[in-house]
Amino acid sequence: MFTPRMESANRADLYEMQTILLKQTVKTVYQDVTFYKAKFDDLGIKPEQINTLSDLKKLPFTTKQDLRDHYPFGLLAVPKEKLARIHASSGTSGKPTVVGYTAQDLRNWSEMVSRTIVAAGGKSTDLIHNAYGYGLFTGGLGLHAGIEALGAATIPISSGNTERQLLVLQDFQPQGICATPSYMVHLTEKLIKKGIDPQSIGLRYGIFGAEPWSEGMRKKLERLLGIKAVDIYGLSEVMGPGVASECHEAQDGLHIAEDHFITEVIDPITLEPVEEGEYGELVFTSLTKEAMPIIRYRTGDVAALRTDSCHCGRTLARMTRVKGRTDDMLIIRGVNVFPSELERVLLEAMNLAPHYQIYWTTKASMEEVRIHIEIDELFYMQVGADLAHPLVKNLKATVVEQIKSTCLVSVDLMIEKPGVIPRSEGKALRVIDQRKNAAKGVV
């Protein structure tokens, strides 16, 4: 659904509403969440001191470690009996981060996602193929509920089982699809290998997220599938998918659901706000969450923010596509570069496939990057399956030079034959950090 009253609101009215909701949220967490009361008391902050949006900077940050330290329910603002659902992110170090939702939280979330679908070009009469994973991960059920809230029909196929996905896409002919961009590339390749024109399945739009992706990948998906490909953003600690999303009219930044969240961008080192339009770490404060309100949550995601109006008519602030994560940034001989910046150059090159992995290693106490990327199948046949062919060597030299001139780093590029890079049915593994192993003499 499109809600002009909110999505096209005057920004002064929006700030007034956010201020009222922020004051209520601060009062709630101080009264009902022991963790926040202790944090506020340590800083000498009382709820009545938060009266304007500029007072937000007085409040403490929340981190993923805080959620882990209070696993599983230590940050809830309501009794467990009032929960309607629980989600959790994957636990890379043992314990996942757990998030609870009341029935009202779920209704708010569904409305956000339904806005996302409309912004992507979706309609209530559509059939939408949902290839995000169902379960504790918020992607599958989050999109599912939003599709139903819009009144559209869901194909709840979840992730995996690629052959079944292809069969359903051909036979059901959905208008929209939701998936990670890397898995959508994989599905598209499989269709082509079967001799099926990807545009014959009739898709109009795709809603892709859960991992950083580049403009080059967008163009590739749009060209092969004949669709509008839009980005969706969200994370379980804040809510889930639908926190922000692109519109199909402009595809120029993701509109943030500012009636539910306040967004900041900070310098991850100084923790001070950056100027509008500058890149930094995204920080979210919830305004309407009942079960688990969150204050100044440091996402680790790097993006920039802008508040000018979009020509689609929405006045909500927009964030750029996520450039990467603060902990994913590569520092190569003093130069900072994100994997998405390397991807942009790789995907702009002719005759390379969008399947790559970046190995970050150390050699002679110096950090280096080695990129493995597949050659396009048609070009592979053209050079007689010979990766030592002069045309392949020329391609490699051209791409290495383009990376150096664009990203200001030197890389070792390894061009591989088709099918070598592992495919993912969820989030693609793009960066492999081998620095510790290299320091031990293991590669």
Three-state SS for 44?
Answer: coil
Lookup: tokens for 114: 């339904």
Dihedral angle over CA of 287, 52, 49, 64, nearest 10: 40
Task: Report the helix count and the strand count for the chain, using DSSP H and E.
Answer: 13, 21
| Residue 344: per-residue pLDDT | 85
| Residue 408: per-residue pLDDT | 87
- Whether the CB-CB separation of 373 and 379 falls below 8 Å is answered with no
Kindly report the backbone phi and psi dihedral angles of residue 318, in degrees, each rounded to the nearest multiple of 5, phi listed first: -120, 140
Query: How many CB atoms sit inside 10 A of residue 336's CB?
Result: 13
Residue ranges of the chain with per-residue pLDDT less than 70: 1-2, 90-94, 364-366, 436-443
Q: What is the CATH number of domain 330-439?
A: 3.30.300.30
Residue intervals of the chain classified under CATH 3.40.50.12780 are: 1-325
| Residue 92: per-residue pLDDT | 47
Residues 6+ apart with CB under 8 A from 54: none
| Residue 365: per-residue pLDDT | 63
Give pLDDT tens digits for 232-255.
Answer: 999 999 999 999 999 999 999 999
What is the value of pTM for the model shown? 0.86
Task: Give the span between the Cα atoms of 69 and 50, in whole angstroms.
Answer: 27
CA atoms within 13 A of residue 367's CA, in its CB half-sphere: 17
Residue type, 247: C
Lookup: tokens for 187: 């599905």
| Residue 112: per-residue pLDDT | 97
| Residue 426: per-residue pLDDT | 72
Three-state SS for 19?
Answer: helix
Give pLDDT tens digits for 125-158.
Answer: 999 999 999 999 999 999 999 999 999 999 999 9
| Residue 60: per-residue pLDDT | 98
- Whether the CB-CB separation of 284 and 238 falls below 8 Å is answered with yes
CATH topology of domain 1-325: Rossmann fold (3.40.50)
Residue intervals of the chain classified under CATH 3.30.300.30 are: 330-439
Say how many Å lie between the first and final Cα of the chain, rounded.
52
